[in-house]
């Protein structure tokens, strides 16, 4: 069974540009989570999607947004990129409503110059 996949693996942008990151959950999983992990720091929760709807949002500005598609894949968009947005962006998926475990993808390394 394929795990969570993310693309691209690396992304280089300049300040002010927009970045789009993609995530495909494990087959059958309906929930997708996005996290930001700055170098050497812990995971900061960004967004949680379930069944196509945004269920919860972390303490990030509105320029961080996303969506979940009917096939449960998800996109994270970051507008007006700032230097401090440089980080590893992790996507995780979760299965049935009663399952508590999240399974993580390898991440997208975003570098803002």
Partner 1 sequence: LAKTTQPISMDSYEGQEVNITCSHNNIATNDYITWYQQFPSQGPRFIIQGYKTKVTNEVASLFIPADRKSSTLSLPRVSLSDTAVYYCLVGSHAGNNRKLIWGLGTSLAVNP
In this structure, are strands 108-112 and 10-13 parallel, antiparallel, or unpaired? parallel
Q: For residues 26 and 2, is the Cβ–Cβ distance under 8 A? A: yes
Our finding on whether 31 is near partner 1 (CB under 8 A) is yes
Dihedral sign of CA atoms 3, 41, 67, 81 in order? negative
| 14 contacts partner 1 (rule: CB under 8 A) | no
66 is a site residue for partner 1 (CB under 8 A) = no
Under the binding rule (CB under 8 A), the answer on residue 101 touching partner 1 is: yes
Q: Which is nearer to partner 1, 81 or 93 (CB)?
A: 93
Question: Is 92 a binder of partner 1 (CB under 8 A)?
Answer: yes
């Amino acid at each position: 069974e394929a795990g969570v996949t993310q693309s691209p693996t690396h992304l280089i942008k300049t300040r002010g540009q927009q970045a789009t990151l993609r995530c495909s959950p494990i087959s059958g999983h309906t929930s997708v989570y996005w996290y930001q992990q700055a170098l050497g720091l812990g995971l900061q929760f960004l967004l949680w999607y379930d069944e196509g709807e945004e269920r919860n949002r972390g303490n990030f500005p509105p320029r961080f947004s996303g969506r979940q598609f009917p096939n449960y894949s998800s996109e994270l968009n970051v507008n007006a990129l700032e230097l401090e947005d440089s980080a590893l962006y992790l996507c995780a998926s979760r299965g049935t409503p009663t399952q508590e475990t999240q399974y993580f993808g390898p991440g997208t390394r975003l570098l803002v110059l």
